[in-house]
Amino acid sequence: MSSERDFNDVIMGLAKKRGFFWGPSPEIYGGSSGFYDLGPLGKLLKNRLENAIRSSFVKANFWEVECPTVSPEAVWKASGHLDGFIDPVTQCTKCEQVFRADNLIIEQSPDAQIAGQTVDQLTETIKKLGIVCPACKSLLGPVETYNLMMKTRLGLVQDAYLRPETATSTYLLFKRFLTFFRDKLPMMVFQIGKAYRNEISPRQGMLRLREFTQTEGQIFILEEDEQNWPQYDSIKTVELPLLSNIAQQKGSTQPVRMKISDAIKKGHFQKPAYAWCVYLAYSIFRGMGFSEEKLRLRQHLKTEMAHYAQDAWDLEIQTQSFGWVECCGIHDRGNYDLTRHQEFSNEKMSVSVNKQPVIPNVLEIAFGIERPLFCLIDNSFQPESEARDTDWLQFPPEVAPIQVAVFPLMGKDELLQPAREIYDSIIDVGFITQFDVGGSIGKRYRRQDEVGTPFCVTIDYTTLEDGTVTIRDRDSMNQIRVHKDDIIQVLRRLIRRSVLFDSLK
């Protein structure tokens, strides 16, 4: 590929061609930036990721909730979004297009250090670096702030907003959680749902959307419990790829693998409970199929953190299209959120500790799902080669949209019925399976390679003689014969990666 844009165009082209996503939506009306439709395979892939996320949270003893996506203005005044959920924007002095200033600077000057800059400083940076309008190459105006929330109205008179994240709607349930958890802290909950942000000029396709699905997990916890976290001992020797703020200040961009216990000793993490949250976020993304070498955890610089934040790390994924992409935030929010809602709602958001009211702290894991979905497609992309005459996707078997494809060698003879029976038996145990009779067997293999199907089962004339079928491995293109009575067990082991394909020869 000649450039990042060229590579991204290839990824987007394959994704649109094979039904992962389409857009901007609605395409037949010209499309609106920041909105995409998920096609059949994109929806399957998203379901896989959501299931992996849900499984990780439930295994960690979080409870799932679901809240409305619209709340009255008072909620967002209390949360700080009404005044503080803003982006820096700049307008072209000629064509009048509006752009997000910080993103535009990084696009045209990737090495620029702009974290924490004010609007005045961003204006000076634009002038100093010669940043121009990407549409017409004209000069840009001064940087201003713009609120990202989408406004609506409840009935005729009450102003309201679509939520820009799921966390606030979770905080509002604090008193209900106390009843559900029988007044015992810590309380751990998570939510998966839609969020909306009125981005000025969404760019980079699926990476910046106006409507997206967000996952957020919250731990409501007392300060003393943050230092005495029972799950810490089980993960303290786990190594994480850490890029601390100290390392960044020294100019480093490479993470260092470090035991969690050593990270605490070095002061990178202050609290064992928070360190466990960072570990959990990392394990969630590993569970979505991302390899270790594609992940890093980057600590926010002091200039990046909100005034109330006690610590903040981002999980980033290395992509072929856009380099390192921020995909998840892990935040130590202190008691800011519950304090604000107590103040504005006049409802008690505290618990009794030694007969004194104490407002708990909140530890948070937050990420959208569409970004890792795109990053997984990007990471899985393999270009055509001498061995294979098509671009293809190397999804991990456990998250592949289609896990198994079933082919009768011929589609109009005695092979069709046994192939249908095998297809039914595979789909009955829960594997997403496609039945395909169109074209030569080679063309069918190529179609499945393009969409990342890890295993193809072919029913041929030998099947009629001895009951065996072939299983083809996508990555190696090797094949083995397995008796049809054993196929479910073999596929289950292959998809769960409890056995390697080559070991079954």
Per-residue model confidence as pLDDT tens digits over 122-157: 999 999 999 999 999 999 999 999 899 999 999 999
The identity of residue 419, as a single letter, is A
Q: In the numeric block, which tokens belong to residue 104?
A: 């535009």
Distance CA(130)–CA(127), nearest Å, equals 5
Tell me, what's the pLDDT at 2? 41
Q: Which two tokens stand for residue 90?
A: 């700049």
* Alpha carbons 379 and 399: distance in angstroms, whole number: 13
Under 8 Å between Cβ of 364 and 167: yes
Alpha-carbon torsion angle 179, 181, 184, 187, nearest 10: -120
The secondary structure of residue 232, as a DSSP letter, is: G
Q: Within 10 Å of residue 436's Cβ, how many Cβ atoms?
A: 21
- Average pLDDT value for the chain: 95
Domains of the chain plus CATH, in order, are 4-85+157-378 (3.30.930.10), 86-147 (3.30.40.230), 387-504 (3.40.50.800)
More confident residue, 202 or 399: 399
pLDDT of 406-416, one tens digit each?
999 987 789 99
Q: What are phi and psi of 251, to 5 degrees?
A: 95, 5
The pLDDT of residue 218: 98
Contact (Cβ atoms closer than 8 angstroms) between residue 210 and residue 266: no
Closest CA to 298 of 282, 285, 276: 282
Asked if 278 and 297 touch (Cβ cutoff 8 Å), the reply is: yes
